[in-house]
Structure 1
Amino acid sequence: MYTDKQEYSFSTCWNIKRYTNGQGMIEEIKSLGFKQVELNYNVTEEMLQTIEPMIERGQIGVSSVHNTFPHVADPDYGTDSVLLGFDDETRRKRAIELLLRSAEYAHRYGAKAVVVHPGEVPFEYNIDEALKKIYHDQGPDSPAYQSLWQEMLEKREDGSAYYLSRIQESLEEVCDLSEQRGYGVNFGIETRSRCYQMPTLHEAGTIIGQMKGAPLGLWYDIGHGMMMDRMGLYDNVREANALIDHVVGVHIHETVGLADHWCPYIHSKDMTFFDSFLDIIDRSPVKVYELKAACTPEEIDESHGIITARIAERHVARQRG
């Protein structure tokens, strides 16, 4: 019924909350026309008991796994934590062990990459949530937003160099051990959805530049980049395209206002802006749709059709040019 999505992959975040059985979850994704999945951080070891036979039989490919994988209930090692930047050495070492476990699974499943949320500059409370509320209620130009934004930015900038060095130290350990063990996967540090989280595109470029030769690159989450641009953290389109040669994977989705994980073009009704990211998608070694449950199969198919048609048009134009 739906088009063959070929080299594109699809994240289990779309339907994982509707399943306890891994096989059923994967079968539904396959029915959309995908031959590959990204196994996200909510996939449990129990789910893998029915997914692994499908991988072994070649019924589904795995493009990537999302650290921390399989699911770890402890929020210290969840997706919104200091993680690789922990001051406490025991917790930092545990974060490294868990990332290497994700890499081991990726290697076992023939995946190309591990998606990594590296860490954050810690705040006493969720200042990002407070900022987004003011953004929605009063707008980003309001005095209340600008005042709190400056407060966030100053604290973030005060802590960023320290936490970036901790994160880099952890990533160096991870990459060295992963190569020693022959895992053969790339680690993609992901652009994040909260303004105090790391890395910004500049921070990602700094780490990648200092770790030349390591199996490390940028995991570019398009929707998160759009959101951080709107909030005022960085120039998403310009900075992301400047890092195109360092992208190891991409999460394809669009942000409407400050709500992310929507189908590109379809939900925003903006038929031009997302074109800014098509070259990155085209060049990315791993291309994963990361969509919310509200996106319907028909919308997913339509969005994919627009993306692939426009990328194909660009190829034709370049050949002519």
Structure 2
Amino acid sequence: MEDKGAFSFSTCWNIKRHTDGSSMLREIRELGFRRVELNYNVTEAMLTTIEPMIERGEIGISSVHNTFPHVSDPDYGTDSVLLGFGDETKRQRAVELLVRSAEYAQRYGGEAVVVHPGEVPFPNDIAKELEQIYSGQGRDSEAYRSKWAELLERRGAYSAGYVQTIIRSLDEVCNRAASKGLNVRFGIETRSRPQQIPTLAEAKTVISALKGAPVGIWYDTGHAIMMDRMGLYDSVGEMEGLMDDIVGVHVHETIGLSDHWCPYVNSGNMDFYDAYLPMIERAQVKVYELKAACRPEEIHESHRLLTAKLAGRG
């Protein structure tokens, strides 16, 4: 099988098909990947069979995705206030869990931790409502404009406060990580729902406030495409000011508002994703984050196209 070189591959592709960690990673190795990103659904039980593989050098770990290993409490899941909690007990727990993720990353030879910083909480599932209107009536419809204005009003009123709390939490995390001698970077990820933090401007605020700390942006290309389509930010233009701050990328394409597809292959568009090649090129850690529906032959073809395009940029 063709060696995929420096590219890593997230366990989100096949974790639901496996209860045993070693069989999950062997399936990824068969695709030609030497490194994996262990995502937030990897359990401590799975690690009992993964750790011997790491120790024997059968697989490398590029990164882990907070909170790692899996925590069943939704307060510390992927879609929560997390590092922005106003409740100090909850915030401290979120800080501890992120430090724990970093300890695992270091132990496994990983370079980075992917971080979902938080969100502005809404009483209703506004992201789902917006997606339904977007798909049914379109972004230019009056219904969408009205619901989007509702989102922006609440987001605008509360986001700055959550961003400041997230900065405080990340500062504490970095100080604790340094005191433990951890040498990993924290990448705050572009998210898939418009109430979630950060926008690219918010990412810049966080990174600037923590200048000198090992904090940068984790540019999830598919999520950024979604947020661009929904109207939250310009996923290409606004990245210009963050190019020096990229820790890692999640490589996947979005069809409409459906993400985690193989770039170029599933969309059938041979040009659109080219705009994200500069971010992929600059990232220290490059990770395919694909859904289970992506077939091995599509993954191989997508990688062939992507690497050829990257080579052509040189």
Query: Under TM normalisation by the shorter chain, which class is it?
Result: over 0.9
| DSSP 3-state at the match of 2:236 | helix
1:62 Cα shift? 0.2
What corresponds to 2:18 in structure 1? 19
What corresponds to 1:141 in structure 2? 140
Structure 1 residues 216 and 233 mapped into 2: Cα distance closer, same or farther (>3 Å)?
same
What corresponds to 1:306 in structure 2? 305
**C-alpha deviations, 1:159-185, integer Å up to 9, x for none?**
011000000000000011101111100
1:241 Cα shift? 3.5
| DSSP 3-state at the match of 1:243 | helix
**C-alpha deviations, 1:209-254, integer Å up to 9, x for none?**
1111000000000000000000000000111243111000000000
**C-alpha deviations, 1:108-144, integer Å up to 9, x for none?**
0010000000000110021000000010111111100
Within 5 Å, give how 1:267-286 maps onto structure 2.
Answer: 267-286=266-285
What corresponds to 1:204 in structure 2? 203
**1:78 counterpart = 2:82:** no
What corresponds to 1:166 in structure 2? 165
Within 5 Å, give how 1:292-303 maps onto structure 2.
Answer: 292-303=291-302
- Structure-2 separation of matches of 1:149 and 1:283: 33
What corresponds to 1:92 in structure 2? 91
- Structure-1 separation of matches of 2:306 and 2:218: 19
- Structure-2 separation of matches of 1:57 and 1:241: 41
- Structure-2 separation of matches of 1:103 and 1:207: 19
Q: How many residues align?
A: 314
| DSSP 3-state at the match of 2:284 | coil
8 Å contact from structure 1 (residues 38, 288) kept in 2: yes
- Structure-1 separation of matches of 2:158 and 2:297: 44
What corresponds to 1:235 in structure 2? 234
- Structure-2 separation of matches of 1:240 and 1:96: 27
The letter for the 2-side match of 1:73 is: S
1:269 Cα shift? 1.1
- Structure-1 separation of matches of 2:12 and 2:166: 26
- Structure-2 separation of matches of 1:256 and 1:244: 25
**1:42 counterpart = 2:37:** no
Structure 1 residues 155 and 188 mapped into 2: Cα distance closer, same or farther (>3 Å)?
same
The letter for the 2-side match of 1:179 is: A
- Structure-2 separation of matches of 1:241 and 1:226: 15
8 Å contact from structure 1 (residues 261, 291) kept in 2: yes
Structure 2: gaps (5+ residues) = none
1:32 Cα shift? 0.2
**1:121 counterpart = 2:120:** yes
The letter for the 2-side match of 1:101 is: R
Within 5 Å, give how 1:247-258 maps onto structure 2.
Answer: 247-258=246-257
The letter for the 1-side match of 2:264 is: Y
Runs of 4 or more consecutive aligned structure 1 residues displaced over 2 Å after TM superposition:
none
8 Å contact from structure 1 (residues 113, 187) kept in 2: yes
| DSSP 3-state at the match of 1:183 | coil
Structure 1: gaps (5+ residues) = 316-321
1:273 Cα shift? 1.2
- Structure-2 separation of matches of 1:107 and 1:281: 23
- Structure-1 separation of matches of 2:303 and 2:240: 21
The letter for the 1-side match of 2:302 is: S
- Structure-2 separation of matches of 1:138 and 1:241: 32
8 Å contact from structure 1 (residues 222, 250) kept in 2: yes
What corresponds to 1:318 in structure 2? none
- Structure-1 separation of matches of 2:125 and 2:212: 36
8 Å contact from structure 1 (residues 241, 280) kept in 2: no
Within 5 Å, give how 1:255-270 maps onto structure 2.
Answer: 255-270=254-269
Question: Which shifted more, 275-284 or 189-198?
Answer: 275-284
8 Å contact from structure 1 (residues 251, 290) kept in 2: yes
The letter for the 2-side match of 1:27 is: R
What corresponds to 2:7 in structure 1? 8
| DSSP 3-state at the match of 1:236 | coil
8 Å contact from structure 1 (residues 220, 251) kept in 2: yes
8 Å contact from structure 1 (residues 191, 225) kept in 2: yes
1:268 Cα shift? 1.1
**1:180 counterpart = 2:170:** no
TM-score (norm 1): 0.97
1:17 Cα shift? 0.1
What do you get for the CA RMSD once the two structures are aligned?
0.6
The letter for the 1-side match of 2:204 is: G
8 Å contact from structure 1 (residues 103, 183) kept in 2: yes
| DSSP 3-state at the match of 1:217 | strand
The letter for the 2-side match of 1:311 is: L
- Structure-1 separation of matches of 2:185 and 2:252: 22
